[in-house]
Structure 1
Amino acid sequence: MLTSQRKQHILSVLRRDGNVVAKSLSEELGLSEDTIRRDLRELAGEGLLLRVHGGALPLAAAEADFAGRQQLAPDEKVAIGRAAARLVKPGQVVFIDGGTTAVQLARHLPANLRATVVTHSPSVAVELASHAGIEVVLIGGRLFRHSMVAVGSAAMAAISRIHADTYFMGVTGVHAEAGLTTGDLEEAEIKRALMGSAAETVVMASSEKIGAASAWVVNPVASAGTLLVSPQAPAAALVPLRRAGLAILRSDDADGGKAADTAGGASELSGAR
């Protein structure tokens, strides 16, 4: 088998199974593990997969820059943002992450809602500037232009002094084994701090993020309470996430006020700190 054929086969297995195990693939093809690992290194260098111990995972498409991410699953992000906005209750203090889905959340908060939004995203803050009932607390720090969010020690210190009801989190990848991931070390640290300062975390993820992974781990998937997805989310990819302990809430269910779908049944999202 030619090198190009092997690489296409590896990518085909990755799309089909959601992961590649070097040992299994070497046995299937009758090749050495060193050959498979070399192919994986080259494919990773081309930005086509993420190498992990023993094999590879799909690389998160959401690692594109902010402008590029606006073109990824725009209809899903609107639906997820609208559904997330319905989960914010009057009087709550909520963290809203940076990113394109978070902007949609801010955009769909009800006009009569009175609550406090804490965000490290200038884009989210600007979106809420004309919302009379929302008290906006903007966390400062060094601007990470890729995601248009504040990072660094100043942002970490500010987050540590706040207790929020819910953190609406954006990530580039949600994978049962790799966890909740993002493409930058400092951004991962900020997300981890926000999770630690909130009573619960709702992860907002469009389809291209489900089953994908980036290099920097925020936390295991079970550390978040709920994963909010669109009806287009691949059903097979959600199964291992349920097994890992995530409650799955579809955006159409959230709009209708239905409960989150968990491995052991249904549970309503808590609104209390």
Structure 2
Amino acid sequence: MLKEERFKVILDRLVNDQKVYLAGLSALLNVSEDTVRRDIKELADQGLLKSVRGGAVPHAPGPHHFRDRISHDKDQKQIIANKALSFLKDGQVVIFDGGTSAMLIAQALPKDLRITVVTNSFPIASLLEEHEFVEVLFAGGRLLKNSFVTIGSDTIQFLKKFRADICLLGICSIHKELGVTGPDYEESEVKRTMIQSSREIIALATAEKLETAEAFYICPTERLSVIITDQPGGQEAFKTYSELGIQMV
């Protein structure tokens, strides 16, 4: 079998199973595990999958630049935003990260809701300037241009000052074993600090981001309190997360 043919088999199996193992691919392709390992490395170098110990998992689908993410899966993200509103109550301190799902929540906040929002997102801070009863505390720092958020030590030190009731965390990738991960190192460090500064973590993720992984570790999956997706709860695919004690909405 030609290398290109092996690549297609690996990627097809990854789409179907959401994870591939060296031993299984070795038997399927009738080649050594070393050959499969080299194939996976080459596919990972091309950005087509995420190499992990013993095999590979998919990358999260969709674009990474904020402008492109605004229009990507907008209807699904609106479903997530509408579900998330039920978790917000008067008097809470809520950390909003810079994800587009969090931005849609900010757009939809009831006009009489009285909360304090802590955020490093320029778009969210700008939206909430018009909300009469929401106090906004903005984390300064260096601008990450492709996400329109602040990052760096100043941002992290600011976020460490809070003990928020809720963190609304836009998710790039969630995997039961590999945890919550992201594609940018410094933004992932900021998200980790948001989690450490919050009592309850509500992950905002379209269903296609489940069982995917990126390069930079943020937190273990079981640290999440709730995962809100665009799909109805109770699905078989959600069982692995419910077993960790995570509420699937």
Opposite residue 205 of structure 1, the aligned amino acid is A
- Asked if the contact 1:99/1:148 (under 8 Å) is kept, the reply is no
- Return the alpha-carbon distance in structure 2 between the equivalents of residues 45 and 237 of structure 1: 29
- Return the alpha-carbon distance in structure 2 between the equivalents of residues 116 and 227 of structure 1: 22
- Cα RMSD over matched residues? 1.6
Tell me which residue corresponds to 1:258.
none
* Unaligned segments of structure 2, at least 5 residues: none
TM-score normalised by L of structure 2? 0.95
Opposite residue 175 of structure 1, the aligned amino acid is H
Aligned residues: 249
Runs of 4 or more above 6 Å deviation: none
5 Å-filtered alignment, 1:32-47, equals 32-47=32-47
1:1-54 superposed Cα distances (whole Å, 9 cap, x missing partner):
221211111011111111111122102222111111121112112211011111
- Return the alpha-carbon distance in structure 2 between the equivalents of residues 12 and 161 of structure 1: 46
**Counterpart check, 1:88 vs 2:97:** no
Question: What secondary structure, in the 3-state scheme, does the structure 1 residue paired with 2:231 have?
Answer: coil
Task: Give 1:70 shift.
Answer: 2.1
5 Å-filtered alignment, 1:52-91, equals 52-62=52-62, 64-91=64-91
Tell me which residue corresponds to 2:128.
128
* Unaligned segments of structure 1, at least 5 residues: 250-273
**Counterpart check, 1:106 vs 2:103:** no
Question: What secondary structure, in the 3-state scheme, does the structure 2 residue paired with 1:70 have?
Answer: helix
- Return the alpha-carbon distance in structure 2 between the equivalents of residues 233 and 189 of structure 1: 30
- Return the alpha-carbon distance in structure 2 between the equivalents of residues 37 and 232 of structure 1: 37
- Asked if the contact 1:118/1:138 (under 8 Å) is kept, the reply is yes
Question: What secondary structure, in the 3-state scheme, does the structure 1 residue paired with 2:194 have?
Answer: helix
TM-score normalised by L of structure 1? 0.87
Task: Give 1:240 shift.
Answer: 2.0
- Asked if the contact 1:79/1:230 (under 8 Å) is kept, the reply is yes
1:173-229 superposed Cα distances (whole Å, 9 cap, x missing partner):
011111111111111111111111111110010123111111111011101111011
Question: What secondary structure, in the 3-state scheme, does the structure 1 residue paired with 2:98 have?
Answer: coil
Opposite residue 185 of structure 1, the aligned amino acid is Y
Tell me which residue corresponds to 1:253.
none
- Return the alpha-carbon distance in structure 2 between the equivalents of residues 237 and 35 of structure 1: 31
Task: Give 1:86 shift.
Answer: 2.6
